[in-house]
Amino acid sequence: MKVTVSTSGFRALESALAELPKATARNVLRRTLTKAGQPIADEASRLAPVDTGKLAGRIIVSARLKNKVGGAEYAAAMRAGLGRQAATSALRQARRDAKGQGSFAEMYVGPARGVLAYAHLVEFGTARTAPQAFMRPAWDSRKREALDIIRRELGNEIIMAARRLGRSKKAAADVKYRASIAALMAHEAA
């Protein structure tokens, strides 16, 4: 089950984030969301039932790995017999068309891929076994802490990223200055 959280009171942080280059802003968000997701993952690991111990040790926080946009277009082109090149072109076009839609940054907190099917059965139960929820209670008990981490860390991450950008711009300006001085000196020597 996918849970979406809407927040308010982040206007100043949002405008500061918008001042950063897009890739830098996305990385700032990912670092912050990783820190915020960790308490939820730790709580889920603690709450996970222990039969073999594999589930409790495989609760992760990670950037969303799979981009599902364009998969249907790729499959349709392959079924139509258009070939891999046309199918790849259809996939890329679908991704271009969808650009800007959806979330700017998403994080996954939950079981790792190797135990995902098993974790689903544990969380929700089966016809023969009762549910032993561990992810939802972890979210319910740690969501406030996660939002507090986002509020606190996002500002710090923005400031650090802006400082890094400032240093790199200053370093680039210093290199240009030294290069122009060296060019002038070479011109005068000639």
The predicted structure's pLDDT at residue 184: 45
- What letter would DSSP give residue 177? H
Query: At what angle are helices 84-97 and 71-79 packed, to 10 degrees?
Result: 150
Reported as a single tens digit per residue, the pLDDT across 164-177 is 887 665 544 444 44
Reported as a single tens digit per residue, the pLDDT across 32-51 is 999 999 999 999 999 998 87
If you average pLDDT over every residue of the chain, what do you get? 79
* First-to-last C-alpha distance (Å) of the chain: 72
Q: Are 147 and 33 in contact (CB under 8 A)?
A: no
Domain map (residue ranges) of the chain: 11-64+106-189
